Structure 1
Amino acid sequence: MSNTALDPARLDAAMENVHRAGVPGVFAEVRAGDQVWRGAAGFADLGTRRPATPDLRHRVGSITKTFVTAAVLQQVEAGDIDLDAPIGRYLPGLVPGGRGRAITVRMLIHHTSGLAEYLPYAYPSLKGFPDPAHTGPASLDDHRFTRFHPTELIEMGVGAPAAGAPGATPGTYSNTNYLLVGRLLEQVTGTTAERYITQNVIERADLRATELPTGPHMEGPHPRMYEAWFGMIDPPRDYSVFDMSWVWSAASLISTVGDLNRFYALLFAGEIVSPASLAQMRRTVPVVSQQGTTIDYGLALHPWTSAADSSYWGHGGSAWGAGTLAMARTDGKRQLAVAVNLQRWNRLDPAGRPRRHPIDDALAALYRVAMG
């Protein structure tokens, strides 16, 4: 594990290389002990040429899952949720019958429930998801302002052919799991997931620029967010105005790179959930990601490489046009949070597989510099 001091010149150059590789704008914060570096390259808005800055608010996608899980674990600590209880005990109407008895709360958070992803049913043009060659982006425009209710999305996932047997590994990453986790939190606390998470996670961590949105617009300084959908949207289209009810408690969070670093620092210091809960979060199982790779996945945390040899843990996230990665050393000595305002930049090869792009290499190089 490296304790290398931050090198601002190398970080600046690595950021600029990400922009030059094709990302409109990239912004980041890296912490090493008492040192903090914040930087940005490129543009927040290609139309006006407004520059990207490190303080921009951003849609951080599935990083939301760590916040939601922290809230659930607080309820576990209070004795109101049992991680190994069947979800049917809490939500019998949403996961009825045998599956409701077989799928536990832990399986939902681990993505080992076997429940299918609802997205291709909510967005018809993505019916081939996660295979990009058999999808199209039309539904993104069709549903920009659609207000989904979590129950209708959950019913799509629960009613679809199962991705696997409850508890079987490798699990299959599915946002259906985390919509159920959000509904579980509401059932137990008697309030909305947004209100509970805001009061008990976001405000507890004193995150001033973080929120779960209830409408399609973002307040405060933020970038345009450009979605390419594997070259099928050319030029990439801005989806920064978008109703995020389509991912609700799975991926709707708005935050900043500074707030994310603060959140993960406090989480790993045992100030959001107890050390015992944090240990549970770091118990991993193999899960097949939406990119088709198998990763070690804990309770909404995953290690940078594998649980056996990595000291960096965190989560990544993607929304339409917005991508974010937040990782922290578990000893608290190093953190990074990086955001980009372009997604799915990889065009497809003749076999329908995403081609590697210079952006991939530039981001990998930035992560290496940031991690020291």
Structure 2
Amino acid sequence: MGKPLDPAALDAALRNVHRAGMPGLFAEVRDGEQVWRGAAGVADVATGRPVTADLRHRVGSITKTFTAAAILQQVEGGLIGLDAPIGRYLPKLVPGERGDAITVRMLLNHTSGLAEYLPYAYPSLRAFPDLAKTTPQSLDDHRFTRFDPVELIAMGVSAPAVGTPGGALGLYSNTNYLLLGELLEEVTGTTAARYLTENVIDRAGLCDTELPAGPHPRGPHSQLYEAWFGMIDPPRDFSVFDMSWVGPAASLISTVADLNRFFRRLLAGEIVSPASLAQMQRTVRVVSQEGRTIDYGLGLHPMEGTAGGDTFWGHGGTVWGAGALTMIRADGARQLSVAVNLQRWNRLDAAGRPQPHPVDGALAELYRVALHG
């Protein structure tokens, strides 16, 4: 077990991330009843407005844990079969043999073999994962674009398969979670956003968490700066952005306090049953969007970089300009949620690989101090 929280050490670790090049970041760390919240840097580089620990923030793919919990609720209610083929529910979206072969579980744990739709939705990003050839122009072009999830799904389904359904090595793909959003709507008769709000967000008692309806974040928030591996210099503010391009895969807005509350209640069996939580913690090997091989469950995974003998569960997330990470020790006692307002700060070498940056080491040290003391 880690040592008790050290507020001075946590403050110093947070400031070091800011000094390493992060405009602003904020975090909440919990150890039992002991709570520390901190912030360092600015929420707006133009005005110098400081970040505070209570700001609302785009948390990216942490949304997937919320969506997975909603699906597991429907499994508990008997409306969805975890190992049933997706073609049973959405035959028009995943037709034929693939619809028969891909199960709901495979969508949740990214072993469906369905490709990521993003390179096809954003033509100028088509070079994924060869990031050295991409340009940021499409980010500006689509700030206010309202994407149709069915059209995005069709792009992913029609793209060349990236694996065999249920294969030994999965590939992380947002197409899976857009399909899960459509599945939720099919079986509940309401929108995925409304179901998630009423049955996951409200059930967890979250007051500052929402799936945004439009491009403008509500409430106090930071500006969000995208560097796109040095190709946007200086980094550009993308805090205003229509999040229909990721929907139930990555559009959530939350706070570090709400994230900690949600994951605490999830691991306590208050959002889904203990049996469903056990299913969420059954992992397979998956290649992440960064090209690393990780263990991944159903919208939840054990976290890397948490050496110290304890197991932590959680999720990370990025969107344009915003990043967040949340993790909780298996016993539910120790937690960290952190949000940053700059993304893709690493420049690329000649081979297109991100180069080391002082922010990376400073964040790793923050995680170590937060989780282990």
Please report the TM-score for the alignment, with normalisation by the length of structure 1. 0.98
Q: Does 1:170 align with 2:163?
A: no
Distance apart, 1:305 and its partner CA: 3.4
Secondary structure of the structure 2 residue equivalent to 1:44: coil
The AA in structure 1 aligned to 2:210 is: E
Distance apart, 1:260 and its partner CA: 0.1
Distance apart, 1:310 and its partner CA: 4.6
The aligned counterpart of 1:219 is 218
The aligned counterpart of 1:305 is 304
Q: Is contact 2:111–2:169 with CA below 8 Å preserved after alignment?
A: yes
The aligned counterpart of 2:318 is 318
Q: Does 1:230 align with 2:229?
A: yes
Per-residue CA deviations over 1:237-275 (Å, capped at 9, x if unaligned) read: 000000000000100000000000000000000000000
Q: Does 1:42 align with 2:33?
A: no
Q: Does 1:136 align with 2:135?
A: yes
The aligned counterpart of 2:64 is 65
Q: Is contact 1:125–1:136 with CA below 8 Å preserved after alignment?
A: yes
Secondary structure of the structure 2 residue equivalent to 1:191: coil
Per-residue CA deviations over 1:198-218 (Å, capped at 9, x if unaligned) read: 000000111000000110001
Query: 1:307 and 1:173, CA in 2 relative to 1: closer, same or farther beyond 3 A?
Result: farther
The aligned counterpart of 1:239 is 238
Distance in 1 of aligned mates of 2:305 and 2:169:
15
Q: Is contact 1:112–1:287 with CA below 8 Å preserved after alignment?
A: yes
Distance apart, 1:115 and its partner CA: 0.3
Choose 301-310 or 240-249, whichever is displaced more. 301-310
Per-residue CA deviations over 1:46-99 (Å, capped at 9, x if unaligned) read: 011000100000000000000000011000000110010000000000000110
Distance in 1 of aligned mates of 2:306 and 2:344:
27
Distance apart, 1:307 and its partner CA: 12
The AA in structure 2 aligned to 1:107 is: M
Distance in 2 of aligned mates of 1:266 and 1:360:
30
| 1:29-108 correspondence runs (5 A) | 29-108=28-107
The aligned counterpart of 2:333 is 333
Q: Is contact 1:296–1:307 with CA below 8 Å preserved after alignment?
A: no
Distance in 2 of aligned mates of 1:306 and 1:341:
21
Distance in 2 of aligned mates of 1:100 and 1:332:
37
Distance in 2 of aligned mates of 1:197 and 1:255:
13
Q: Is contact 1:288–1:295 with CA below 8 Å preserved after alignment?
A: yes
The aligned counterpart of 2:209 is 210
Distance in 2 of aligned mates of 1:311 and 1:37:
21
Distance apart, 1:350 and its partner CA: 1.4
RMSD: 1.2
Distance apart, 1:169 and its partner CA: 2.2
Distance in 1 of aligned mates of 2:130 and 2:259:
30
Query: 1:306 and 1:15, CA in 2 relative to 1: closer, same or farther beyond 3 A?
Result: closer
Per-residue CA deviations over 1:295-349 (Å, capped at 9, x if unaligned) read: 0000011102399965100000001000000000121110000000000000001
Q: Is contact 1:303–1:310 with CA below 8 Å preserved after alignment?
A: no
Runs (4 or more) in structure 1 with deviation over 3 Å come to 305-310
What is the count of residue pairs matched by the alignment? 371
The AA in structure 2 aligned to 1:90 is: Y
The aligned counterpart of 2:124 is 125
Distance apart, 1:133 and its partner CA: 1.3
Distance in 2 of aligned mates of 1:153 and 1:356:
33
Secondary structure of the structure 2 residue equivalent to 1:50: coil
The aligned counterpart of 1:346 is 346
Distance in 2 of aligned mates of 1:159 and 1:362:
41
Distance in 2 of aligned mates of 1:104 and 1:167:
8
Runs of 5+ unmatched residues, structure 1: none
Secondary structure of the structure 2 residue equivalent to 1:352: coil
Secondary structure of the structure 1 residue equivalent to 2:367: helix
The AA in structure 2 aligned to 1:272 is: I
Distance apart, 1:130 and its partner CA: 2.2
Per-residue CA deviations over 1:217-245 (Å, capped at 9, x if unaligned) read: 01110000000010010000000000000
Distance in 2 of aligned mates of 1:152 and 1:214:
19
The aligned counterpart of 1:198 is 197
Runs of 5+ unmatched residues, structure 2: none
Distance in 1 of aligned mates of 2:353 and 2:79:
45
Secondary structure of the structure 2 residue equivalent to 1:148: coil
Please report the TM-score for the alignment, with normalisation by the length of structure 2. 0.98
Distance in 1 of aligned mates of 2:47 and 2:221:
13
The aligned counterpart of 1:23 is 22
Distance in 1 of aligned mates of 2:310 and 2:112:
26
